[in-house]
């Protein structure tokens, strides 16, 4: 199995400048990522929440992405992240996804990562089916797992097996896992 490298510098770094990056900086970044041959560039978020000012990377709409000059080497390597809290309501999940995503054939996005907490995970899983039908690769970022038991993590991973997920990983969002804990609870 080959390790895939995903860079999320703009998406994660945007917390410091409200995702308001100068166009030249975004272009330089994309060219650098192509040169470094990263497997995926998670350029920003997709979100239905639009409170206050945020730059284009906070929403990474197809309109915004199509205005960028994405290097040829990244043409099928653009990803976005959505917060699971925005799609965890099963009654409105599909309509929310329809507002956020066009079919892949009409979008520069290839990978959609869903970031969710333990309590949102099972409700967010059905979104994977809809996203896969639209042609996207789907990843789940399960956050803040440091205080979860091996049994709970195993249960969640088993639930994920019932959905068309391309990658499931557990994020040490708070930086509180240590090597000895990982050795004891690795799946």
Cβ atoms of 41 and 30 closer than 8 Å: yes
Q: What is the pLDDT of residue 128?
A: 98
Q: Encode pLDDT of 160-180 as tens digits.
A: 999 999 998 877 766 666 666
pTM: predicted TM-score of the whole model, two decimal places: 0.91
Below-70 pLDDT ranges, the chain: 1, 173-187
| Region for residue 101 given its phi and psi (left: phi exceeds 0; alpha: psi -120 to 50; beta: otherwise) | beta
Question: Residue 146: what pLDDT?
Answer: 78
With 0-12 CB in 10 A as exposed, 13-18 as middle and 19+ as buried, what is 37?
exposed
Map out the domains of the chain with their CATH numbers: 6-185 (3.20.20.70)
């Amino acid at each position: 199995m080959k390790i895939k490298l995903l860079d999320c510098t703009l998406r994660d770094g945007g917390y410091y400048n409200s995702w308001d990056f100068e166009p030249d900086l975004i272009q330089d970044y994309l060219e650098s990522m192509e040169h470094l041959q990263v497997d995926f560039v998670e350029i920003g978020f997709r979100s239905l929440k639009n409170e206050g000012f945020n730059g284009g990377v906070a929403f990474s709409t197809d309109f915004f992405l199509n205005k960028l000059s994405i290097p040829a080497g990244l043409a099928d390597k653009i990803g976005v992240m959505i917060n699971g809290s925005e799609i965890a309501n099963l009654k409105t999940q599909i309509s929310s996804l329809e507002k956020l995503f066009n079919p892949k054939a009409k979008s520069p996005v290839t990978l959609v990562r869903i970031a969710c907490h333990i309590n949102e995970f099972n409700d967010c899983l059905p979104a994977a089916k809809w996203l896969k039908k639209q042609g996207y690769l789907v990843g789940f970022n399960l956050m803040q797992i440091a205080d979860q038991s091996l049994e709970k993590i195993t249960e969640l991973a088993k639930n994920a097996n019932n959905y068309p997920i391309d990658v499931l990983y557990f994020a040490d969002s708070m930086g509180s896992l240590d090597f000895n804990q990982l050795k004891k609870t690795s799946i």
